Amino acid sequence: MRTTESIFDKMLTDFHPVVILPKDYTVLDLTRNSWNSPDNKFSIGKYNELRPNMYTTNIFGGNRNIHMGIDIGGPVGTSCMSFMDGEISHFGYNPEPGDYGNVIIIKYVISKTIVWALYGHLDSSSIINKYIGQNVKKGEIIGRFGNNQENGGWEPHLHFQLSLIEPATHDLPGVVSLEDRVQALLDYPDPRLVLGSLY
């Protein structure tokens, strides 16, 4: 069985940035604090982080609070790009409070392994004229950060998540329960394998 690291044995420099970040950004600690305006314009929310009292809407069922993606916070309208060539497998709008809002999932082949990447909390224009099977190129802008009226009610940011499990629809569990954590870490690898060492 291949390890997650062997799946991503391409050099990280081969991947295009998903969001162009400035030199200075804030790495958030959401284990204790709610998401608030950081000192810098851009911020990072961690993978595999326990975030108690953050996910309070009905879709989380009261016991899901371990984050399975990386959040990249920034201004509304910030561009999100494809990190390599791929094709759109799912897209749509998740309307529930606390959900992704507008989302695109792209299917990639990395080292002969299929990997899906979810780009969530986008603006409504991001899913216009998209179709399943649509090819995207490395570095192509595929969407932009949405505001809190269209992104599930959150501060503007991108939720970026990898999956080794094919999604059934335009959704992936962005947070999981403690009981599901071990399996989730296998199914949803650390996005820093693509994004690089952000923290």
Locate the domains of the chain by residue range.
4-195
What value does the mean pLDDT take over residues 48-76? 91
Give yes or no for residue 140 having a pLDDT over 70. yes
pLDDT of residue 27: 93
Q: What is the pLDDT of residue 2?
A: 47
pLDDT recorded at residue 9: 56
> What value does the mean pLDDT take over residues 153-182?
96
Provide the residue type at 8 as one letter. Answer: F
103 close to 122: Cβ distance less than 8 angstroms: yes
Mean pLDDT in residue range 155-181: 96
Q: What does residue 180 show for φ and ψ, rounded to 5 degrees?
A: -95, 0
Per the CATH hierarchy, to which homologous superfamily does domain 4-195 belong? Answer: Glucose Permease (Domain IIA) (2.70.70.10)
Above 90 in pLDDT, residue 146? yes
Report the half-sphere exposure of 193 (CA within 13 A, side-chain side): 20
Note whether 26 and 41 are within 8 A (CB).
Answer: no
What's the rounded Cα separation, in Å, for the pair 138 and 28? 28
Per-residue pLDDT, 1 = 40
The predicted pLDDT at position 75 comes to 96
Neighbours of 159 (CB within 10 A): 26
Reported as a single tens digit per residue, the pLDDT across 67-89 is 999 999 999 999 999 999 999 99
Largest CA distance in the chain: 43
pLDDT at residue 14 tops 50: yes
Q: Are 81 and 141 within 8 A, CB to CB?
A: yes
